[in-house]
Amino acid sequence: MKIIVAIKQVPERDAQVRIGEGGKRIDEADLQYALNESDAYALEEALQLKEKHGGEVIVVSAGPERVGQTIREALAKGADRAIHIDCDDLGRRDALGVARLLAAAVKPESPDLLLTGLQSEDLGLGQTGVIVAELLGLPHATLILHVEKTDSGLTVKRELEEGWFQTIDLPTPAVLTIQSGGNKLRYATLMGIKRAKTKELRRVTASELSVESTPVVLLEQVALPHKQKSTQILPGSPKEAAAALVEKLKFEVRVL
Amino acid sequence: MSGVLVIVEQRADRIARISWEAVAAGQKLGASLSLPVSAAIVGAETETLAAEIAAKGPTKVLRVEHPLLAQYTADGFTLALQQLIEKESPAYVVFPHTYQVRDYAPALAARLGQVLISDVVDISDGPIFTRQLLQGRLNGNYRPTGTGPCFVSVQAGAFRADAAETGTAEITVFIPTIEPAQIRTKPSEPFRGSSQTVDLGSAQLIVSVGRGIKDAENISIVQELATALGAELAASRPICDSGWLPMERQVGSSGQTVSPKLYLAVGISGAIQHLVGMKGSQCVVAVNKDPDAPIFEIADYGIVGDLFEVVPALTEAVKAAKQ
């Protein structure tokens, strides 16, 4: 099975985020980056499918030069090769614009399966996989926890709300967006890290893919959220803060 | 192009609260732009539900009916709504931000050359649509600049369902053209995961633990606090994903929805998927080392500090207070 995994590099979860000049973007200076979590699960699913059924796992990611580091990590975990869509203007493209880049890079590879995480931790649009499926004319399923290969295609387990699930049968080629938690993530081994350095990492620029990039939706401003409640921060040492909280729980919330 | 079209979702033959919130959001948008608001319901049989929607104040209710729409499929719903939108040409299409909508609305928008503005929490003049970035740490204000219909999905709890108006609407039936071969996926009937033995929904006190706990072994300190308080232990998704606590203890959009008297969140940053499951709590207390964590936006009381110091101190203080 030839599997492509679309991954995204996102700011680290605990990163201190600041609003950039002009209030239009996140300030990227000093930010640390990591592989988006549900994309890590998509990669894991792909690697396990390859181990069971053979084939090839190709990673694709769009973004500036720093994205190369996240791609190398994916190669170290076991992906066979990678495509880096080199572009500095990812933030100015809308979801359709980004999906067009990915679709253009994926199409000539004609994979049996395209996997990606269900949602990015930075923009949280949760759309990229579904739009790429639409652009490539492929069937798709979202929020997938488990993938099984069948004679006619795939049977996948889809998460629904409030603890419900369903299975879906679909033909290949197909696009799946992967929910976190379906598998246990692997770490890169030392051998894997070493091997990653010799694996193929092909760069293609956004202009070489010649896709339409005029956005139909603009991120006009970023701002700190309004507080929904006024939080009373209890100061002092851990012991003092704990004592203050117990007072509140006893006399104001009345649960003690 | 004119008007606001709200797509109402049915789940097990009823309409969930989030769809009424979408209707209210559509009405807010319609009022600010002086546009009429209509609503659509998709399925094989929609007569009863359409009548229910008609009483909520849209000017028109569209029953999008076809035998092939009896069970949800992305292909079926995308085709049906594409045809409806091409016929009605609304200026805005508003959805509830559910798992089902996430599955097809991005494709529907793309098919019409548009982009869904997903998971919107506020609508202001312009119109500008506000959605959360970086798991709720920042808000982003989005402006549609396309020429086609603008697609928007609204987050659960962001608009008040009881703000929907009342009235009697004209009800019409729209029959889309769908061939069986156009539906490429075959879904099963939904089934429950594991049998749920923990009912967090009726718990009065909940102590919930998140990623800040770092390791499975450390969960015991939070368990001790829960025991001292007489509270149920719950968790955010990553904890259950890692297998540190069973899935049935998960609070959030993919887990249980709770509304206890006290929700004490330990090492939980407050990603929106978690907040939707607990923001109905009467009192929220957060312990987190990051003063900018989104959980503090909805907390009544907060302690900014190292949970490995704060939690044991709190357990001791609770025990002392109970003696």
Domain ranges of chain A: 2-209, 226-256
Asked whether the beta carbons of residue A16 and residue B292 sit closer than 8 angstroms, the reply is: yes
Two structure tokens written together for A48: 């396990």
Residue-wise pLDDT for A208-237, tens only, equals 998 887 899 999 999 988 766 789 999 999
Distance CA B12, CA A253 (A): 38
Q: Considering only CB atoms, which chain B residues are within 8 Å of A168? A: 185-188
Helices within B34-130 (DSSP H only)? 47-54, 74-88, 99-111
Q: Which of A15-24, A31-40, B146-155 has the lowest mean pLDDT?
A: A15-24
Tell me which chain B residue has its CA closest to the CA of residue A125.
B118
Instruction: Flag whether pLDDT at A239 surpasses 90.
Output: yes
Residue-wise pLDDT for A70-95, tens only, equals 999 999 999 999 999 999 988 889 99
How much is the pLDDT for B166?
A: 78
Residue-wise pLDDT for A103-130, tens only, equals 999 999 999 999 999 999 999 999 999 9
Residue-wise pLDDT for B84-101, tens only, equals 999 999 999 999 999 999
**Overall average pLDDT of the B270-277 stretch:** 89
Domains and CATH numbers, chain B: 4-182 (3.40.50.620), 200-322 (3.40.50.1220)
Two structure tokens written together for B291: 């003063």
Local structure of A162: helix, strand or coil: coil
Q: Considering only CB atoms, which chain B residues are within 8 Å of A227? A: 297
Q: Name the strand (E) or helix (H) holding B265.
A: strand B262-266
8 A C-beta contact, residue A76 and residue A57: no
Instruction: Flag whether pLDDT at A252 surpasses 60.
Output: yes
Tell me which chain B residue has its CA closest to the CA of residue A134.
B107
How much is the pLDDT for B208?
A: 97
Q: What is the mean pLDDT of chain B?
A: 93
| DSSP state for residue A14 in the 8-state scheme | T
Burial of A56 (0-12, 13-18, 19+ CB in 10 A): middle
Distance CA B215, CA A165 (A): 28
Q: How far is A36 from chain B (nearest CA, A)?
A: 11
Give the rounded percent of residues in chain A with a pLDDT score beyond 90.
Answer: 79
Tell me which chain B residue has its CA closest to the CA of residue A222.
B140
Give the residue from B314, B315, B323 with the most A CB atoms within 10 Å of its CB, the best one to mutate: B314
Instruction: Flag whether pLDDT at B1 surpasses 60.
Output: no
Distance CA B246, CA A161 (A): 17
How much is the pLDDT for B167?
A: 79
Q: How far is A3 from chain B (nearest CA, A)?
A: 19
Instruction: Flag whether pLDDT at B161 surpasses 90.
Output: no
Asked whether the beta carbons of residue A126 and residue B119 sit closer than 8 angstroms, the reply is: yes
Asked whether the beta carbons of residue A229 and residue B290 sit closer than 8 angstroms, the reply is: no
Strand pairing class (B37-43; B4-8): parallel
Distance CA A112, CA B128 (A): 40
Helices and strands (H, E) in chain A, number of each type? 7, 13
8 A C-beta contact, residue B212 and residue B98: no
8 A C-beta contact, residue B294 and residue B271: yes
Give the residue from A101, A249, A252 with the most B CB atoms within 10 Å of its CB, the best one to mutate: A249
Measured from the Cβ of residue B315, the count of other Cβ atoms closer than 10 Å reads: 20
**Overall average pLDDT of the B203-224 stretch:** 95
Per-residue buried b or exposed e for A143-154, using 16+ beta carbons within 10 Å of the residue's own CB: bbbbbeeeeebb
- State ipTM: 0.92
Instruction: Flag whether pLDDT at A162 surpasses 90.
Output: no
Two structure tokens written together for B138: 């920042």
Q: How far is A78 from chain B (nearest CA, A)?
A: 21
Instruction: Flag whether pLDDT at A183 surpasses 60.
Output: yes
- Residue B194 binned pLDDT confidence (cut-offs 50, 70, 90): low
Asked whether the beta carbons of residue A241 and residue B255 sit closer than 8 angstroms, the reply is: no
Residue-wise pLDDT for B237-250, tens only, equals 999 988 899 888 99
- Residue B197 binned pLDDT confidence (cut-offs 50, 70, 90): low
Q: Considering only CB atoms, which chain B residues are within 8 Å of A140? A: 74, 107
The residue whose two tokens read 């190398």 is A72
A2-209 domain in CATH 3.90.190.20? Answer: no
